[in-house]
Amino acid sequence: MDTQRQKHLVLILAREFISNLSTPTLIANQRGYLVYYNDAAEGVIGKRFTEVGETPLDEWLAAFNPRTLDGKPLPPAQRPTRIALEERRVAHLQYLVTSADGVDREIEVTAFPLFAHTDDFVGIVALFWRR
């Protein structure tokens, strides 16, 4: 199971950094598993990270029913988190989600890859906020 693997130092440092941010932020590892989100994110998500735990990011995001601004399903390949994971580049998008409390919200997400060295991809960071 992914939770038993030792975490890369860059992910540990990223977690420490985002735990002090007031901007909702999450981290996923290079395999696409959600490994942490901060307290600010809990307010948008509606659940504490300890309730969710490490889980595949796409599976976790699907529960929020991501949609384009005109209400069409947003495929994983168009989500900033997936772009950062697969293409290893920065991505940004504004779209709709349904929060854990059942409320539809318009959010913006910016995701970027994390590298330990030039060719050592270790995961992503995604910042998000309500519009």
pTM of structure:
0.89
Residue 45, pLDDT > 50, answer yes
Nearest to 128 by CA among 80, 58, 76: 80
pLDDT tens-digit series, residues 77-119: 999 999 999 999 999 999 999 987 788 989 999 999 999 998 8
The DSSP letter of residue 46 is S
Asked whether the predicted pLDDT for residue 2 surpasses 70, the reply is: no
Could you give the CA distance from residue 94 to residue 31 in angstroms, rounded to a whole number?
A: 24
Beta strands in 1-131, from DSSP E residues, in sequence order: 25-29, 33-37, 55-56, 91-98, 104-117, 120-130
Domains of the chain, earliest start first: 2-130 (3.30.450.20)
Classified as helix, coil or strand, 70 is coil
Backbone angles phi, psi at 109, to 5 degrees: -130, 135
- Which pair of structure tokens corresponds to residue 104? 């539809």
For residues 105 and 99, the answer to whether their CB atoms sit within 8 Å is yes
